[in-house]
Amino acid sequence: MGWDWHKFRKDTAFATRNLVWYTLIMSVVTEMVSAMVSALTKTGGSSESLISEVTGTAASAGMIAGVLIGVFCLFKIDGTKAEKIDIFQKSKRKMTAGAFSRFCIYMIMAQMVFSLIAAAAELILNQLGLSMDTLTELASVGSDMGIMMMIYAGFVGPVVEELVFRGFLMRRFEKYGKGFAVIVSAVLFGVMHGNPLQIVFGTLVGLILGYIAIEYSIKWSIILHIANNFILGDVIGGLFGLLPDDVEGIAFTVFLGIGFVIGFVLLIIRRKEWISWLKENAAPGSYYLNALTTPSAVIFIGYNLLNGLMLLTLIFMEPFL
C-alpha cells in the first residue's frame, strides 16, 4: 500500500470536514424544528406531564428532521464535489443466519460492557454523593419517551448513522485499508455520541457494524443497527420493564451476562479468523493519528467531547441545583 501524504490528508480532510458540516446542519435544524413544534403545540396552564410529553415530541421531531436534512446535504455535497463512491457495494461474502446471530451476540456483549462501565462509574460517584442517573437516562432512549423517539432511535437514527459513518466516511477511508476504515469510522461514531457513557459503547458497536458493512454490505449493518436499537433496546428492554422493579434490573443483567459469555466463547473459537483479518487489513499506526488530527477531525472530536464535558458538569452541579 503506497503512502501519498498529500492525497491521504486531502481525502481524510474532505471526509471529516463534511462530517462537521453534517453535524452543524443537523444541530441547527434540530433546534429550529424543536422550537417550532414546541411553539405550535404550546400548552399554557396544562399539567406537567402533558408539557413534558409535548417537549419530548418536539425534541424527537427536531432530531428526525435534523438527521434527514443533514444526511441529504451531506450526500448532495458528496455527489458534486468528490469522486464517486458506491456506498451500497456488495461483497462476495453472503450473510447467513448463523453469522447474523453471532453479530447479534456481539452487540449484546457491547451492551454488557456499557452496563459494566456505567455500574463502575455509578459506584465511584456514589462515594462522592453523586449519581450517573442523568447520563444513563440520556443513553437509554426508548418506549418511555414516546412514539416519535422510538421512530427516531429505532429506525431513522440507525439508517442515517449507517449512511454517514459506514457509507460516506468508511467507504472514503477504505482505499487506505479495511482495518483503517473500520477503526477510524468507529472512533468517530463513538465520539459522535458525546455522552461519556456511550463513547466506548458506540466505538465497540461501530467496529462491529463497520466490519459487517465492509465485509458484507451496508444493508446488513443497517438491519443489525435497527435490531440493536429497536429489538434489543425497545422491545426486549420493554419486556423486562414489565417485571417488578426489584427483579427487572437483575433479570436484564443476567440476560446480558449470558449473551456476553456466549459471545466471549465465540470470539475464542473464531480467534484465528479475527487475528488473520486484522493482520491482512492492518494499516500503519501513523494513518490513524494523521486522520484523527486533521483540523476538521479535531473540531468534530472537540465539539462532541465538549458536549460530554457539559453533561459531566451537570452531574457535579446537580447537588447544588
Query: Which pLDDT tens digit goes with each residue over 271-321?
Result: 999 999 999 998 888 899 999 999 999 999 999 999 888 877 877 776 665
| % of the chain exceeding 70 in pLDDT | 87
How far is the C-alpha of 188 from the C-alpha of 210, rounded, in Å?
Answer: 12
How far is the C-alpha of 50 from the C-alpha of 41, rounded, in Å?
Answer: 11
How far is the C-alpha of 34 from the C-alpha of 46, rounded, in Å?
Answer: 19
Cβ contacts of 187 within 8 Å, gap of 6 or more: 203, 206, 292
So what's the pLDDT on residue 143?
43
Mean pLDDT along residues 6-13: 88
Q: Across the chain, what does the average pLDDT equal?
A: 86
So what's the pLDDT on residue 239?
87
Confidence of residue 145 (pLDDT cuts 50, 70, 90): low
Instruction: Quick: pLDDT tens for 105-131.
Output: 999 999 999 889 888 888 887 887 777
So what's the pLDDT on residue 225?
97
How far is the C-alpha of 320 from the C-alpha of 4, rounded, in Å?
Answer: 54
So what's the pLDDT on residue 223?
97
Closest to 136 measured CA to CA, from 254, 304, 249: 249
**Are 28 and 65 contacting, i.e. CB atoms less than 8 angstroms apart?**
no
Instruction: Quick: pLDDT tens for 25-60.
Output: 999 999 999 888 877 776 555 555 555 666 677 788
How far is the C-alpha of 133 from the C-alpha of 319, rounded, in Å?
Answer: 13
